[in-house]
Amino acid sequence: MGEDGAVTSAPQRPDGPAPTPRLIATDLDGTLLRDDKSVSDRTVAALAAAEEAGIEVFFVTGRPARWMDVVAEHVHGHGLAICANGAAVVDLHAGREFVQVRELPRTDALAVVHALRAAAPGSSFAVELTTGIHYEPTYPPFFQDPGATVATAEKLLYADPSTAAAPVLKLLAHHPELSPDAFLTLARAVAGEHGSITRSSPTALLEVSGLGVSKASTLERCCAERGISPAEVVAFGDMPNDVEMLSWAGTSYAMGNAHPAVIEAASGRTVANNEDGVALVIEQILADRKEADRKEADRKERAN
C-alpha cells in the first residue's frame, strides 16, 4: 500500500474462497475509466474475455444515457447499462432506448429543493429528465448539454411545458462553499425522507433519486430477472453512490483511489482506476476459473 492507504500492487482479495461470478457490475468514472475518461486496451480485453467466459458485465453509473458513448461499444450480449444511479436501465445496442425508468416524483423533488434552500442557502439545482438536463442560472453549466433550459427549479419542475411531460430521473444540488461530505450529511438530514441522496463528484454536488432507487436496487432487479444471486456478483466502485451496490454484492472491490466510505463497504480492494484495477481483478477471476477447470479435468481423469 501507499502512504495514503491506496493499493499499489496486487488486489487484496476478500476472505474466503474465490468467487465463481456470473455477473460483474462496475462503476465508470473513477473506476473502469481512467482519469482522461478513456478505457484502456487492457480493460477492453478483460471485459471481452469475461463475456466470452459467460460472465455478464453491467456498467452501473451515475451518468445519463447520453453520456455513455465512451463505453457503448464495450457492452456485449445484453446491451444494457444502469444509468443515473439506478433511475434508468438503458439498451445501448438500441440507440440508448430506456428499458426501465424509476422516476423521482416531482413533488418530492420540489420538497428537496425547498428543504435545501432553507438549510443551505446558496444551493442551486438541476433537473435531469429522460429527455436531457435543465438547470438554474446559478448552477454550474453543463458544457456537454448546450440545449438545456435555464430557469428556477420550480419552473423546471412544474411551469415549463417543455419539461413537464418527461419523467424526472434525478435532481442535482450544488453548493459553492460546503464540503462535499458535509453537504451530503446535511441534505440527508433535512430531505432524506423525500429521496435517496448520494454523491459521486469531488465537488459539493449531490444527486437525488426516488426513495429506494439506487445502483444496488436496480442491479438487484436486473440480477433477479436472470436468476443471479448476490453471491454470484462481483462489483467495483470508488464513490459514495457505489456504497449500497458494493454492500449488496457477494464480492466487491474498492478502487485504490476510493472514498473512505467505499473502502469500508467493500469486501476487497484493487489498485486505482489509472492502473486498470478492474481489469486486474477480472484477469485473476478468469485465471482462477481456468485453474479450477484444469483441476476438475485432472480429477475426472484420475477417477477414470
Q: What is the pLDDT of residues 225-265, one digit of tens each?
A: 999 999 999 999 999 999 999 999 999 999 999 999 999 99
State the amino acid at position 95 in one-letter form.
G
Q: Which fold has domain 106-209?
A: 3.30.1240
Q: CATH 3.40.50.1000 occupies which residues in the chain?
A: 23-101+214-296
Query: Hey, what amino acid is at 256?
Result: G
User: What mean pLDDT, rounded, does the chain reach?
Assistant: 90
**First CA to last CA across the chain, in angstroms?**
47
CB neighbours of 101 closer than 8 A, spacing ≥ 6? Answer: 87, 88, 130, 167, 169
Rounded alpha-carbon distances, angstroms, from residue 234 to 161, 247, 261: 43, 11, 18
Q: Which amino acid is at 279?
A: A
Q: What is the CATH number of domain 23-101+214-296?
A: 3.40.50.1000
For 55, half-sphere exposure in the C-beta direction (CA atoms, 13 angstrom radius) is 24
Residue 3 has pLDDT above 70, yes or no: no
At residue 167, the pLDDT reads 95
Task: Average the pLDDT over each of 63-77, 206-220, 264-278 and give the range with the smallest value.
Answer: 63-77
Q: What is the pLDDT of residue 161?
A: 67
Residue 266 pLDDT > 70: yes
Query: Which grid cell sits at 296?
Result: 476438475
User: Quick check: helix, strand or coil at residue 57?
Assistant: strand
* Percent above pLDDT 70 for the chain: 90
CATH 3.30.1240.10 domain range(s) in the chain? 106-209
- Give how far the C-alpha of residue 90 lies from the chain's centroid of Cα atoms, to the nearest Å: 13
With 80 as the cut, is the pLDDT of residue 281 above it? yes
pLDDT band at 205 (very low <50, low <70, confident <90, very high): very high
Task: Name, in order, each residue with C-beta under 8 angstroms of 45's C-beta and a sequence gap of 6 or more.
Answer: 279
Q: How far is CA 241 from CA 78, 81, 284, in A?
A: 24, 16, 26
